[in-house]
């Protein structure tokens, strides 16, 4: 009888362990976190929405057990503090849209040493062991600056409305723009403002500087294009060629102006739906799949020939494709076969 009870107890214990293991295997027990350094513009809000949607799906499918989202105030110190808290909460992966390419390296190294997978995306870092997924922002900058050079035959007064200062995308985009403008001395940068890739902020800072500026031929923006439009209109000045960043309000204004008077410009941006991609990428990393350390996604360029296809873009959104897990599977297969 004692042997039977002992055997039964062993079976019960093993069964309990197996049930836990099966549950852990089904759900992986993984907790993933999003550390978003800045939440103050439509691109970042849409990115967080995309992350949330895919994380909810992954949780419902049993691919993760839970997820955490932490939004910062745009400062490095706040994000470092939030990352330290995430490390203490013992998450399995942290997806980071970074406030700085270098300032977070120390805390990221700390996370990695603890066994946490770190994926930096959109605004990436230089820490060598962190995964990185972003866009060719330098190339974006060159593309839009070259558009201005070609349109004005190498001679124009340019106003630059910069994005989120200190972030890697803003640095790369600006450097790309300036590499082209400096190579064309006739393209004179008459002023720079900090619009933080936000329409309301851009309208305010451009409105403040307009009285001190005479002729402006072209404005290169990083997300606040419609705010720039409003600033010129409120000042009773002709709206110059404004290079956009695929925000819906500017796209719709552009379509209307194109129909009325043939307004012509260009717009380019990364996609906030990278927030969806990073969820599935984190899961595949946690599951042990082969993932390159660095991944580049494509940006969307809009021209007068293509802008009309975005006429139904929802208010407050940025042009973006829907990405699912299959996109990540196909992407990894392609990257690993190169």
Answer whether 267's CB lies under 8 Å from 243's CB: yes
Burial class (CB in 10 A: 0-12, 13-18, 19+), 66: middle
Q: Which pLDDT score is estimated for 16?
A: 31
Bridge partners of residue 242, in order along the sequence: 219
Bridge partners of residue 218, in order along the sequence: 158, 241
- Average pLDDT of the chain is 92
Q: Distance between CA atoms of 139 and 180, rounded to whole angstroms?
A: 11
Percent of the chain whose pLDDT exceeds 90: 90
Three-state secondary-structure class, residue 99: coil
Q: Which pLDDT score is estimated for 165?
A: 87
For 15: left if phi > 0, alpha if psi spans -120 to 50, otherwise beta; the answer is alpha
Q: In what order do the strands lie in the sheet with 93-97?
A: 66-71, 31-36, 93-97, 117-121, 131-135, 294-297
Confidence band, pLDDT 50/70/90 cuts, at residue 214: very high
Answer whether 35's CB lies under 8 Å from 310's CB: no
Question: How many Cα atoms occupy the beta-carbon half-sphere of 305 within 13 Å?
Answer: 1
Answer whether 283's CB lies under 8 Å from 66's CB: no
160-177 pLDDT tens trace? 999 998 899 999 999 999
pLDDT (mean) for 130-138: 97
pLDDT (mean) for 229-256: 98
Q: Which domains, and CATH codes, for the chain? A: 27-136+271-297+322-336 (3.40.50.2300), 137-269 (3.40.50.2300)
Q: Assess whether pLDDT exceeds 60 at residue 124.
A: yes
Burial class (CB in 10 A: 0-12, 13-18, 19+), 124: buried
Q: What is the pTM of this model?
A: 0.88
pLDDT (mean) for 33-52: 97
Helix (H) or strand (E) holding 158: strand 156-162
Q: Assess whether pLDDT exceeds 80 at residue 8.
A: no
Note the helical H segments in 28-127.
42-60, 76-88, 105-113
Q: Which pLDDT score is estimated for 338?
A: 85
Q: Distance between CA atoms of 202 and 204, rounded to whole angstroms?
A: 5
Answer whether 76's CB lies under 8 Å from 23's CB: no
Q: Assess whether pLDDT exceeds 60 at residue 14.
A: no
Angle (nearest 5°) at CA 260 between 259 and 266: 55
Q: Which pLDDT score is estimated for 15?
A: 32
Answer whether 13's CB lies under 8 Å from 50's CB: no
Answer whether 259's CB lies under 8 Å from 33's CB: no
Angle (nearest 5°) at CA 311 between 221 and 138: 30
Q: Which pLDDT score is estimated for 322?
A: 95
DSSP string, 199-264: HHHHHHHHHHHGGG-----EEEESS-HHHHHHHHHHTT----EEEB-SBHHHHHHHHHHHHHH---
Q: Assess whether pLDDT exceeds 70 at residue 68.
A: yes
Q: Which pLDDT score is estimated for 25?
A: 40
List the one residue out of 254, 294, 65 whose CA is nearest residue 168.
Answer: 294
Q: Which pLDDT score is estimated for 314?
A: 96
pLDDT (mean) for 267-275: 97
């Amino acid at each position: 009888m004692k042997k039977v009870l002992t055997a039964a107890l062993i079976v019960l214990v093993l069964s309990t362990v197996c049930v836990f293991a099966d549950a852990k295997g089904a759900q992986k027990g993984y907790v993933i976190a999003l550390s978003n350094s800045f939440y103050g513009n439509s691109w970042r809000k849409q990115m967080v929405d995309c992350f949330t949607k895919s994380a909810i799906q992954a949780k419902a499918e049993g691919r993760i057990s839970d997820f955490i989202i932490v939004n910062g105030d745009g400062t490095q110190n706040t994000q470092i503090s939030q990352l330290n808290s995430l490390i203490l909460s013992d998450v399995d992966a942290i997806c980071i849209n970074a406030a700085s390419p270098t300032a977070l390296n120390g805390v990221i190294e700390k996370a990695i040493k603890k066994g946490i997978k770190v994926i930096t995306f959109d605004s990436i870092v230089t820490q060598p062991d962190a995964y990185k997924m972003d866009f060719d922002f330098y190339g974006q900058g060159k593309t839009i600056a070259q558009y201005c050079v070609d349109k004005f035959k190498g001679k124009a007064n340019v106003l630059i409305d910069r994005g989120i200062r200190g972030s890697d995308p803003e640095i790369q985009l600006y450097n790309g723009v300036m590499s082209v403008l400096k190579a064309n001395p006739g393209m004179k940068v008459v002023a720079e403002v900090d619009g933080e890739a936000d329409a309301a902020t851009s309208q305010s800072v451009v409105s403040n500087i307009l009285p001190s500026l005479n002729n402006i031929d072209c404005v290169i923006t990083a997300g606040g294009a419609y705010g720039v439009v409003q600033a010129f209109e409120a000042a009773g000045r002709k709206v110059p060629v404004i290079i956009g960043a695929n925000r819906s309000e500017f796209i719709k204004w552009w379509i209307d102006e194109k129909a009325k008077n043939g307004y012509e410009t260009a717009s380019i941006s990364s996609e906030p739906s990278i927030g969806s991609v990073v969820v599935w990428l984190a899961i595949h990393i946690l599951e042990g799949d082969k993932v390159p350390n660095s991944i580049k996604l494509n940006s969307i360029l809009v021209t007068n020939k293509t802008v009309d296809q975005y006429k139904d873009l929802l208010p407050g959104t940025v042009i973006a494709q829907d990405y699912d897990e299959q996109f990540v599977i196909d992407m990894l297969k392609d990257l690993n076969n190169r």
